[in-house]
Chain A
């Protein structure tokens, strides 16, 4: 081996190392610039909506963001409308949905994950096919039926809860994925010791399932806040039976927007704050659920 070749061999990695460092610095700073840009884009709408909710001088859209006159007029204005009623409606249905839907989803997913019975596979396939029908279609008939039961318009909240909860068993995928990861040997050990299936669920599985229970409660609680289609169908023009999404949407109609645009912003902030705070507190569980669910498919 000649001296020259030796040199090349030793200097090669060193040079490369230096190059790597420099290029890493460069690429990292490029990434920082990108991330800052993304963050700004992501935050702009939310900053704007908050700023506009404090604007006093005009209730209509303007071409600038920072209010010339600050004040709480829009928030005060909210209480002169049906907004508190919508808020209560949404809150009640969200709370009830969170409790009932969690029970149903957990029953479903736990059973499909743990038990092996003859109809299991056909049942899952059937629900997969059922899920391919646009759910909106069922609204037409559900509206008529609920109307006959007197659960529409002003009395929409119980009807809405019923609709949210009843079919929620179809959304078992994520939590089934979670239960699949709990080793079956735990169940079997307890069964050998004479525990019934019910005791296994209560004493062994439930204590281990905190993340998925919280995930299910969180998503079930958040969904009614954003539901627009079903709520609008069931409230059917009744302001007292609307939820926040339907009510606020109507403020942006052509004939209302000039008067209510900034009030919409204030209402939006009022809705977004509790939901966002809750989500941020429980973010960890949400991430676990989402990533687990996607990998399992």
Chain B
């Protein structure tokens, strides 16, 4: 491909400019992907180097350190205690005691069971005295997996703390040898509201995220490699165990399954994915452009009652979605108000099948989503539109630009430039827009051919509602839900990566031409 310099580029005709941009966009993709892999490689290399440096540092600390430091390698916090930093020393020591105690009492067991996820399932025994079968519950796969992961987290935390302990010793030696004083426990406490204040502030939120987000996500990723479902719940009926990549094979295989539908899982997944992307595209951009349009209409000079219009629109944000969406979905039902009204006016003879035909349902969902989504965009666009310098429009008007030209040359590029990141997040947000789909249609109308883990898959089901249906379905195939979840993550992160990496190159070019 021929590369133009800036001057040559400016000389090109409009059509050729577009073509050139498009070409360079697509030519850049392989480069970007290559750069991505190179970046990954660099990260891995960096990590390896870091580990080597750390090891060397630990070694030299041990070799050159005094006896207090050397003891600290085994008894954490000894160095601190011996040098008078009582508080730090006690904390280190306490952590080590707790860790070793935990590993002996429980951690070792969980860790040793992790490879098998439990050996003995619940067993029934005949009890002669009461003349019944009594079940004894034995291993608990769920707990083994959960506490196993937790133990691994704990080990990582311990290694980190141990390393910190070694570093502390080295630092203390350096400080003492240069003749300065060490910080006392009181100073340490004081610094928690001063220069270490960020640690105090972050501790609570981060513990919450670690326990309620990171741990569950790691757990669920691991579940994708097990056979955890309603009939293998790991304690009450059967144990579950590792099955390797079987679930991914099931989800991505093209052979028809024998279950509910005749379609293969891969075909069903493909259909749901393509509708999810289609939905995200239309939902995002219909809201974006219509919301911008409404905002411009309300902001236009000479329009009165601006506040009233805005307040009316904002109602859909204020009222909880489950009320408004459930009600609207009933309005569009066969015996609902909309059909009743149309029939009483004599415009139609038969009820319109808003929710009964695939294409009808899909279009209705997108249109109702506009009702929900425009107000948000209207608010955002109002804020941004007010920031556009008015003299730009003035000079455009003097040059004889009409309304459309002003819009396409000033307003739209400005909006796109400012809201670029927002567009991306709202696209991925719409991909996971559970509420609108589930409350409006529940995924209906059902696709009879689609195979599903349990229950049904409909033509308006997004990946996220499908996931929900799998987990709440009769068989509760959690492992398939977690495969779907992982695939959702892969799709979302791929889209985000591509947009972040590829888009700015053309976006920057388009700043205000």
Instruction: Render B185-203 as a binary contact track against A, CB cut-off 8 A, 1 for contact.
Output: 0000010011101100110
Interface-forming stretch among A1-9, A73-81, A162-170? A162-170
> Closest residue of chain A to B376, judged by CB?
A290
Task: List residues of chain B with CB within 8 A of the CB of A138.
Answer: 212-213, 216-217, 220
Among A115, A136, A244, A297, the most chain B Cβ lie within 10 Å of the Cβ of A136
Does B432 contact A48, Cβ atoms closer than 8 Å? no
Please measure, in the bound complex, the distance between the C-alpha atom of A152 and the C-alpha atom of B297, giving whole angstroms: 49
Measured CA separation A239–B430 after assembly (Å)? 31
A140, A245, A294: the one contacting B481 at CB < 8 Å is A140
B343 is an interface residue with CB less than 8 A from chain A? yes
Task: Chain B residues near A35: list those with CB within 8 A.
Answer: 297-298, 303, 309
Q: Do B214 and A130 touch (CB < 8 A)?
A: yes
- The answer to whether A137 touches B482, judged by C-beta atoms less than 8 angstroms apart, is yes
Interface mask (A230-270 → B, CB under 8 Å = 1, otherwise 0): 00000000000000110011001000000001001100100
Do most interface residues of chain A lie in helix, strand or loop, or is the interface mixed? Answer: helix
Contacts of B157 in A (CB 8 A): none
Question: Could you pull out 6 A-B pairs where Cβ atoms are within 8 angstroms?
Answer: A35-B297, A39-B313, A61-B330, A63-B340, A140-B220, A248-B326
A48-B337, A110-B201, A280-B311 are contacts. A196–B303 as well, Cβ < 8 Å?
A: no
- At the interface, yes or no: B364 with Cβ under 8 Å from chain A? no
**Contact partners of A45 in chain B: CB under 8 A:** 324, 327-328, 331
Cβ contact within 8 Å between A198 and B197: yes
Which residues of chain B from 409 to 434 have any CB-CB distance to chain A below 8 Å in the complex? Answer: 418-422, 425, 428, 432, 434
B361 interfacial by beta-carbon distance below 8 Å = no
A201 to B194, CA, bound (A): 10
Name which of B55-63, B128-136, B172-180, B380-388 contacts chain A: B380-388
Cα–Cα, bound, A137→B190 (Å): 41
Find out whether the CB atom of B193 lies under 8 angstroms from the CB atom of A49.
Answer: no
Interface string of A130-161 (1 = CB under 8 A from B): 10111111111110110000000000000000
- A207 CB, nearest partner CB in chain B, Å: 18
Do the beta carbons of B322 and A245 come within 8 Å of each other?
yes
Question: How many A-B contacts if CB must be within 8 Å?
Answer: 246
For B321, what are the chain A residues with a Cβ–Cβ distance below 8 Å? Answer: 226
A43 within 8 A of B: yes
State A249–B471 Cα separation when bound (angstroms). 19
CB distance from B458 to the nearest CB of A (A): 16
B333 located at the interface, meaning its Cβ lies under 8 Å from any Cβ of chain A in the complex: yes
Q: Contact partner of B219 among A46, A48, A141, A163, CB < 8 A?
A: A141
Contacts of B439 in A (CB 8 A): 228, 249
Known: A61-B336, A166-B211, A271-B323. A140 touches B330 (CB 8 A): no
What are the residues of chain B within 8 A of A46 when measuring CB–CB?
315, 319, 324
Which residue from chain B places its CB closest to the CB of A197 in the assembled complex? B197
Q: Which residues of B contact A279 (CB under 8 A)?
A: 314, 317-318
Answer yes or no: A68 CB below 8 A from chain B CBs.
no
B268 interface hit (Cβ, 8 Å): no
Q: Is A189 an interface residue (CB 8 A)?
A: no
- Interface code A266-297, partner B: CB below 8 Å = 1, 0 otherwise? 00100110011001100100110011101101
Q: Is B260 an interface residue (CB 8 A)?
A: no
B344 — which chain A residues lie within 8 A by C-beta? 63-64
| A268–B319 alpha-carbon span in the complex (Å) | 9
Provide the residues of chain B in CB contact with A283, threshold 8 Å: 311, 314
B488 partner residues in chain A, CB cutoff 8 A: 133-134
In the complex, are the beta carbons of A137 and B481 less than 8 A apart? yes
A125 CB to closest chain B CB, in angstroms? 11
How far apart are A17's CB and chain B's nearest CB, in angstroms?
Answer: 12
Segment at the A interface, from B11-19, B98-106, B489-497 = B489-497
Digit string of B79-92 for contact with A (CB within 8 Å is 1, else 0)? 00000000000000
> Which of A65, A198, A275 interacts with B319 by CB under 8 Å?
A275
Residues of chain B from 469 to 500 with CB closer than 8 A to chain A in the complex: 471, 478, 481-482, 485, 488-489, 492-493, 496
- What are the 8 A-B residue pairs with the smallest beta carbon separation, nearest first? A63-B340, A297-B421, A291-B383, A169-B205, A138-B216, A166-B212, A197-B197, A279-B318
A129 CB → nearest B CB, Å: 7
List 17 other contacts, CB 8 Å, given A137-B482, A138-B216.
Answer: A31-B300, A32-B303, A38-B313, A41-B371, A61-B333, A64-B337, A64-B344, A104-B208, A108-B202, A133-B217, A139-B471, A142-B212, A197-B195, A198-B194, A248-B326, A249-B322, A295-B422
The winner among A31, A140, A163 for most chain B CB atoms within 10 A is A140
Contacts of A65 in B (CB 8 A): 337, 341
Contacts of A170 in B (CB 8 A): 209, 213
Determine if A166 and B492 form an interchain contact, defined as CB atoms under 8 angstroms apart: no
Contacts of B467 in A (CB 8 A): 134, 136-137
A18 sits at the interface (CB 8 A)? no
Which residues of B are found within 8 Å of A244, using beta-carbon distances?
320
Query: Do B379 and A291 touch across chains, with their CB atoms under 8 A apart?
Result: yes
